[in-house]
Amino acid sequence: MKDYLIRGTDKLGRIRVLVAKTTAMVEESRKIHNTSPTATAALGRSLTAGVLMGAMMKNEKDVLTFKINGKGPGGNILVVARNNGTIKGEIMHPSVDLPSRKDGKLDVGGLVGNNGTLTIIMDLGLKEPYVGISKLVSGEIAEDLAHYYAYSEQQPSVVSLGVLVDKDISVKAAGGYIIQLLPGCTEEDIVLLENKLKEIKPVSALIDEGLSPEDIFNNIFEDFEMKILEKKDIEYKCDCSKEKIVKVIKGLGKTEINAMIEEDSGAEVMCHFCNTKHKFDEEELKKIMIDI
């Protein structure tokens, strides 16, 4: 079944909710990057966060970058989400793994580290992009994003992200939700929601049981009057192209390009997000040189 997300609200517009199923997206990312189970979960949670946040932007061309720099053995994580539902991402050291925690869960916090920052950059087509930074709390990602919203955007939020890795290291289930309490929420609403969230299973378990984003939405908000505003397909998809790589090569300068022609009689540039190899022969490199 295809991945998708839904965006909803309560009848009075005081609660913003996004719920996504991201199993296929996270599995695609695992195959591309050949990630260890813990790295699959770390990058998968980040991709899920990115796709949910990307859907909160207004315009099709808006781009959101989600960066985690926690100084753990997995290295930095980078995710780029577009408002159209496509996403790509990478983790610096995909093959590094850690033993599971005492409670049996993958040690994402240990792999990511918590001695650093979460940075969110939103390019909304304005002169300057919006940049928000907050300190990491645990490296578990959902907690770090909730802290980001509270600290950097003064927006009380509930963030839940989950990736269940199967015995054969493929992705069994993945998904997440973000709930934001907007002005007008009463103390009663908050208590009702808090109690509900205490009894609900982890999001990856719900997806694994076959629940759809709508089921999860209806489940959490059964005591509220809610409506779904949007349903959107989402997928891991890289937007690299030979034209974009030409720009990168141009940026290297004439000396470097000359060396590529003389020493390697061509160039091969691999995209880190999708592992596509973009090849350039001597003739093509000479053409690029003329344009500099």
Q: Which DSSP category does 291 fall into?
A: T
Contact status: 273 vs Zn ion (CB under 5 A): yes
Kindly tell me which of 56 and 238 has the beta carbon lying closer to Zn ion.
Answer: 238
Kindly tell me which of 167 and 277 has the beta carbon lying closer to Zn ion.
Answer: 277
DSSP for 26-57 reads HHHHHHHHT--HHHHHHHHHHHHHHHHHHTTS
How many residues belong to the site for Zn ion (CB under 5 A)? Answer: 6
| CB of residue 274 to Zn ion, shortest distance in Å | 3
Amino acid at 55: A
Amino acid at 69: N
Kindly tell me which of 11 and 279 has the beta carbon lying closer to Zn ion.
Answer: 279
Contact 237, 88 (CB under 8 A): yes
Buried b vs exposed e over 13-48: b needs ≥16 C-beta within 10 Å?
A: ebbbbbbbbbbbbbbbbbebbebbbbbbbbbbbbbb
| CB of residue 47 to Zn ion, shortest distance in Å | 15
Selected from 238, 252, 269, 289, the binder of Zn ion by CB under 5 A is 238
Site string for Zn ion, 160-199 (x = CB under 5 A): ----------------------------------------
| CB of residue 50 to Zn ion, shortest distance in Å | 16
Tell me which residues in 252-271 interact with Zn ion (CB under 5 A). Answer: 271
> Residue 165's beta-bridge partner residues?
171
| CB of residue 16 to Zn ion, shortest distance in Å | 32
Token pair, residue 115, equals 């001695």
Contact status: 245 vs Zn ion (CB under 5 A): no
Kindly tell me which of 77 and 108 has the beta carbon lying closer to Zn ion.
Answer: 77
Kindly tell me which of 43 and 146 has the beta carbon lying closer to Zn ion.
Answer: 43
Kindly tell me which of 19 and 271 has the beta carbon lying closer to Zn ion.
Answer: 271
Selected from 274, 282, 284, 289, the binder of Zn ion by CB under 5 A is 274
Selected from 240, 252, 269, 289, the binder of Zn ion by CB under 5 A is 240
| CB of residue 173 to Zn ion, shortest distance in Å | 26
Buried b vs exposed e over 65-90: b needs ≥16 C-beta within 10 Å?
A: bbbbbbebbbbbbbbbbbbbbbbbbb
Kindly tell me which of 271 and 285 has the beta carbon lying closer to Zn ion.
Answer: 271
Nearest to 171 by CA among 207, 145, 142: 207
| CB of residue 244 to Zn ion, shortest distance in Å | 9
Strands, DSSP E only, in 220-276?
Answer: 226-233, 235-236, 266-270
| CA torsion, ordered 270, 93, 64, 123, to nearest 10 deg | -60
Select the span of 21-29, 114-122, 133-141, 276-284 touching Zn ion (CB under 5 A): 276-284
Contact 112, 137 (CB under 8 A): no
Binding footprint of Zn ion on the chain (CB under 5 A): 238, 240, 271, 273-274, 276
